[in-house]
Structure 1
Amino acid sequence: MTFQPIVPAGGYAGWLFLERTLEQQQESFDESFPVKRATDYFRENISDVQTAEQLVNDREMLSVALGAFGLSDDLGNKYFIQKILEEGTIDDGALANKLSDSRYAEFSRAFGFGDFSIPLTATSVVSDSIIDRYQRQSFEAAVGEQDNQLRLVLNVDKAIDDVTSSASSTDAQWFSLLGNAPLREVVQTALGLPSEIASVDIDQQLETFKDRAESIFGTDDVNEFNSDELQEKMIRLFLIRSSVSAGAGISSGSIALTLLGNQ
């Protein structure tokens, strides 16, 4: 039986509880039977995988591989995933680089089938890294079954790390952030930007996000989003603004005071 995360409340109060108990809850989740069975199988077999075709034809391993990047919905799309892996990320024309969702490029890069003559699957670093990501993503998914807003904020730290490590220039990092759907939702909401902004020209989106980040966060440098203080502010604003949008029963006076205190 899988350990069910304890989430006694939603919104910012729920986040504070989850943040305080996260390490203990994650450990219990990782040791639950279904999770441990999946990760043990992956650890024992991934070093034997030499091609993308081998990986996609092993449903148990592919489930962990995709789950590590929040791409579990693609488990049945074997041809698509094999193409993502085989083309790699070095060539600008590779499929993973053409997709708006940057998680596919991160997924392909992690295994190296299309980027290196020898894939990265033979290294213990890949095994440990993928398993760590899978455990975290699976826990987040379990939290999301109770409160999807809390699932999104649990993903923030790792997603920002992925974005900042995938590119060096500020604009390239912003484009990567805008292509990471879960992280984009958090940042967009925290900045008070409407969902309709996704329909405008991508360069205009970039400038709008950067200007708003400078105003709200005091910087448009994505590297600075790695700081605990800025992430906490981002998460707080996201959860408060989400509660306002959902009409979650928070008094208007309390909302106004909290938002003013975070401008």
Structure 2
Amino acid sequence: MTTTFVSYQQISRDLATSLERVSKKPDVARETEYYNSKIGDIKSVDDFMADTRLYNYALKAHGLEDMSYAKAFIRKVLTEGIDDDDAFANQLSDTRYKELATSFNFKAFDTAATSFDRAQTEVVDKYMRQTLEEDAGNENTGVRLALYFDRTASTITTAMDILADDALAQVVRTALQLPAEVASSNIDKQAAYLDRVLDIEDFQDPEKVGKFLERFTAMWEIENPSDNYDPLAVFSSSSGYGISPDLLLSLNSLKLGGS
């Protein structure tokens, strides 16, 4: 079986071709055609929530597919928008909710919210990337993790950003060869340790991210030989790629409390 590093390189080296291949899958093409045909008719949060097929497409595009059942939660995110500092999405440590509210900013733009590229082509682009990563994960979870880290690395500005996301934390712990038990230790001590051993600013440099992922994929392959791992283990306990509910509440309390 192809190694984690080689599989990751095959996908990321020509990402446009990889994404095009995903877009031509019958189920993806069908759902995208539906989304494109309907999104312009959505004029309110109520419209958005009422079309289950479109709603599910949009949530998957933002990595929130596993939160589709939490409609009251998602409604609050969309209803309050992003412009006010105390808007619900701005109070959540998980930035995916703010990204969703940005894509569908009914609070600011009312009936025109879905007329912008961010609600149309950008959501479709996000859906394709999300699907690509999920497909890769069906073969090798390490590849999915690497693709996700590569996509989101530029958003990392603090050690807490890493710890707030199960997948990012998994990549870093693997690359640094930290034991799994570290994940259950005091979160402030974890952050302090990462600040000591990492230069967080390196994640703004694509070349340095690439080097980091070379190390990660090598370590992943050692710990998880390509023919012996559970493709869903890392993601099954969290909402999409990011934060498990318990960790979300913990980190959000830290953020809101200023401690």
- Tell me the TM-score range normalised by the shorter chain: 0.7 to 0.9
Letter in 2 for 1:182: A
Letter in 1 for 2:206: D
Instruction: State the shift of 1:234 in Å.
Output: 1.6
Query: For residues 67-104 of structure 1, what are the alpha-carbon distances to aligned partners after superposition, in whole Å with 9 as ceiling and x for unaligned?
Result: 11221112232222212222334445444344443322
Over aligned residue pairs, what C-alpha RMSD do you find? Answer: 2.6
Residues 238 and 48 of structure 1: CA distance in aligned 2, closer, same or farther (over 3 Å): same
Aligned to 2:244: none
**Structure 1: gaps (5+ residues):** 1-7, 165-169, 214-218, 250-263
Give the Cα–Cα distance (whole angstroms) in 2 for the partners of residues 232 and 18 of structure 1: 13
Give the Cα–Cα distance (whole angstroms) in 2 for the partners of residues 201 and 88 of structure 1: 33
Residues 92 and 177 of structure 1: CA distance in aligned 2, closer, same or farther (over 3 Å): farther
Contact 1:88 1:94 in 2 (8 A): yes
Equivalent in 51, 61, 69 of residue 58 of structure 1: 51
Contact 1:96 1:108 in 2 (8 A): yes
Q: Residue 186 in 1 paired to residue 171 in 2?
A: yes
Aligned pairs for 1:102-113 within 5 A:
102-113=95-106
Residues 206 and 113 of structure 1: CA distance in aligned 2, closer, same or farther (over 3 Å): farther
Aligned to 1:72: 65
Which SS does the other structure have where 2:197 is aligned? helix
Q: Residue 27 in 1 paired to residue 17 in 2?
A: no
Taking structure 1 as the reference length, the TM-score comes to 0.74
Which has the bigger relative contact order, CA under 8 A and spacing at least 6? Answer: 2
Letter in 2 for 1:246: N
Residues 31 and 247 of structure 1: CA distance in aligned 2, closer, same or farther (over 3 Å): closer
Aligned to 1:207: 192
Letter in 2 for 1:130: V
Q: Residue 237 in 1 paired to residue 230 in 2?
A: no
Paired positions, count: 226
Letter in 2 for 1:226: Q
Instruction: State the shift of 1:21 in Å.
Output: 5.1
Instruction: State the shift of 1:136 in Å.
Output: 0.9
Aligned to 2:152: 159
Q: Residue 246 in 1 paired to residue 239 in 2?
A: no
Q: Which moved more, 1:135-144 or 1:15-24?
A: 15-24
Equivalent in 144, 147, 158 of residue 140 of structure 2: 147
Instruction: State the shift of 1:236 in Å.
Output: 1.4
**Structure 2: gaps (5+ residues):** 228-259
Give the Cα–Cα distance (whole angstroms) in 2 for the partners of residues 70 and 84 of structure 1: 15
Aligned to 1:101: 94
Taking structure 2 as the reference length, the TM-score comes to 0.75
Q: Which moved more, 1:126-135 or 1:148-157?
A: 148-157
Letter in 1 for 2:190: Q
Letter in 1 for 2:4: G
Give the Cα–Cα distance (whole angstroms) in 2 for the partners of residues 62 and 92 of structure 1: 26
Q: Give the share of equivalent positions with the same residue, in percent.
A: 30
Letter in 2 for 1:237: R
Query: For residues 192-234 of structure 1, what are the alpha-carbon distances to aligned partners after superposition, in whole Å with 9 as ceiling and x for unaligned?
Result: 3344344344433322212111xxxxx331xx31323211112
Contact 1:103 1:180 in 2 (8 A): no
